[in-house]
Every structure is written in structure tokens, then in C-alpha cells.
Structure 1
Amino acid sequence: MKKTLKPMNSLAGLFMGFFISNNGDAMSKTYKDKNCKQCGNTFKTTGPKQYYCSPICQFYGTGYTKDSKGCHIWNGSYRSDGYTQLTFRSKNYKAYRLSCEMAHGPAPTPLENNVLHACDNPSCVNPDHLRWGTHQENMDDMVKKNRQTKLKGTQIPSSKLDIIQVKEIKKKLEKCYHGMIKDLSKQYNVSTTTIHYIKTGVTWNNV
């Protein structure tokens, strides 16, 4: 997934900060210079497994898998609550916030700095499904969509899986590899969101 990078106001600070630190005395040890896999810029690394010059480039380089509902299912790592994240130089970033900021600019005000998912899918980073909102809006949305409590598999009316299948899926998820969620969704004829919810315990957490 290649895109033209258009850093917003606060994102420009991210880039500037990284390049300054790369050339400053604060770096006690550097490794071989590399070309960023996303934008091609040369940067100084601080570890052997760094391939991107900034969290923005790492976001685009990690990419997503589009599902049937138009959600962009994050290909990277997830927090324990099921929301997307990426780690750049030992610092964690919320991938969905980066997506929202790159598409819609920085949060309008300190009060309006919550990212709301129109699709109600925490694994989605599609900027068309994201918008800035207040904490109260986020709480109201959570209550409206019944996200304040975790559902158990058989309590979901649309559930296509039984306990035996879920146990099989959880066993297979222990051997994590790139594209596994998509492969399992095809194998069990369910959405990638269903598999991701099982993986993160949003549903079927009692199995």
C-alpha cells in the first residue's frame, strides 16, 4: 500500500523530532544507515530491525486488509483491548489515531480528541470510518452500541460459530503469522472482524 505522505501540523513535529534526535548527541549508539522502505529517505537507525524512518511511514508500510464492509483491518499489532497500535523505536502509537490525524488533521480541541469508529470495529484504520469527537460522544456511542460489556459467543444472535469451532480457531491463533486472520475467516466462512474479536477476547471470551 503506497501513498503520498502528507504530514499534518502536529505530524510534522513527529518527523522533525526523529530527524533531530538521529543527528544529535543523545544517540549513544547508531547502526548502519538505511533507506526507509516506505518513502526512500536515508535515516540513521538505532537498532538492527528498523526499516522505517518515522511512525507515519511504518503505518503505511504495515498496511491493512480490506474486508467486505469497507473496513481496513490493521495488519500490525493490537492492544489488549483490541485496538490497533504500532511500535516505533520502543514507543507505542495508536494506529487508528494516526490514521484519523493524517486524514482529518489534529484533534480540533483538547475536548474533541477521542477517535470514534463509525463502523464500531476496533481493528479498522479506514479514515473514512473515523472522526474526532468528545469523550461524552464516545461514551454515548459505547452505550448505544452496547460496547460497555463483552458479549459471549452464543449471546450474539448472528453468531455462525459453535464452541468447538471457536476452540479450534483459538488453538490455530496461537501460531500467529501474517495473514492468519484473513485465512481463518475464509476457512470458517466468517468475517475477519469475527476472527479478530475472538483473538482479542471481545467475543467468546468464556471459551
Structure 2
Amino acid sequence: MSVYWQLKSAKRNGDDRPTRSPHSVPPNDLALPHLWVSERLQAQALRARRGAAVSNYVSASPAAVRARSDYFWARVDQAQDGCWRWMGSWDDKHGPQMQFAHAGVKHRLPATRASLILHGVELDPDDVVYRTCRNGLCVSPEHLRIGDHEDNVAQRVALGRSAHGEGNGRAKLTEEDVTQIKRQLLRGVTRTELAAAYGVDSRAIWGIDAGRTWKHVDPAPKRSTR
């Protein structure tokens, strides 16, 4: 019998002992519905606030992006290999994200879309921006294309980044992938970020970083012999 019903039973039987305050009952006692409802309502309110924040983030207009171009450029690492590595926020589902405040409103959009907007490209809401390179953190406009979901999937298959049944993780890695991963590890990108960017298990990135796998791949750029 729960603490709540023990107290109720004692009161019906004429027990004059002082009744315990409901707030002294452990919160995991589900026989106290008013506490459970209170916690549930608090959780719903928290989710509502988070949902409102997310909706504010999503509504980033091109004008707001251009007004905060300084935020974008402060988070871009233009590497010598042609890729622009995003140093800002990261979303496990949508990749590099540009989150900023403008005119008292919080904005958010994929950093790839922000890159194209800042380079004069007009995007429709239904446009899908995908990469032609294997670097999941790249926001270089030279490596970005506009299409639809089918184009994006086809490009991922062409680059070997779609899911495969064989091998560890969710995708195969090529030597070029591993070269980029090793370079980005040296620049400070975390294993978790790289695993999400390349669609592999974090253990695959750990193996590369620890030298357990792909030992023969040299991350140093090849120098011209001329």
C-alpha cells in the first residue's frame, strides 16, 4: 500500500496522528495524482516553451541573414583543400546550423543555406541544399547545389555516404573520407560531430583517431614535386 493510502486508511479508522504533508511524500509515489499532474503540466509547459523557441529559430529571413553576415564569417574555417568547415552550432539531424539574434528575435537555419544566401542565391522554402564534397561540415558555395530530396539522396549514394549493410557503422568510408576526418580531428572537430557528418558509428571515428584503423592514410596534403 502506498504512503498516500496508508494515511487515508488511518484517518478513516479514527487515527488522530497528524497527517503527513503531501509534499513530504516521495515524488515517485504515483498515488498522489496532484503531484503527478503538476509535474506533467510543468513538463508540457517546458516543451511548449522549447517549441516556441524552435519556431522562432526556424523563421530566419534572407534579410536577417545578410544583416548578421559577421556571425557567419566568424564561424567559417576556409581550409586549403577548398572546403569551408563550419565552426558553429551543430544539429544531429540537420548538420551545421547558423543560430543568431537579430532585432530581438532568435533565428536559425542551416549554415549551407546561409552560405548561399550570402552569395546572392535566392532559395525557395522547398529547395534542398546538398553537397558535392564528402565533408559533412562544409559550407563552401562552390561545393553546394540546389535540388530536391531525390537529388540529395542520389548525391549521397554517388559519394558513398548512404547507408550500407556491410562494414561497421551506417556508411562506408573511403580513403578520401578518412583523410578529411583525420585533418578535421587535428583541427579540433569532435568525434561525435564527425560521426554524424559522415553517417558512421562514433566507434569508427574513435578507431581512426586512436590509430586502430586506416593507419596507412596520411592526413598531410600531398605536395607538388615540381
TM-score (norm 2): 0.46
Greater relative contact order (Cα 8 A, min sep 6): structure 1 or 2? Answer: 1
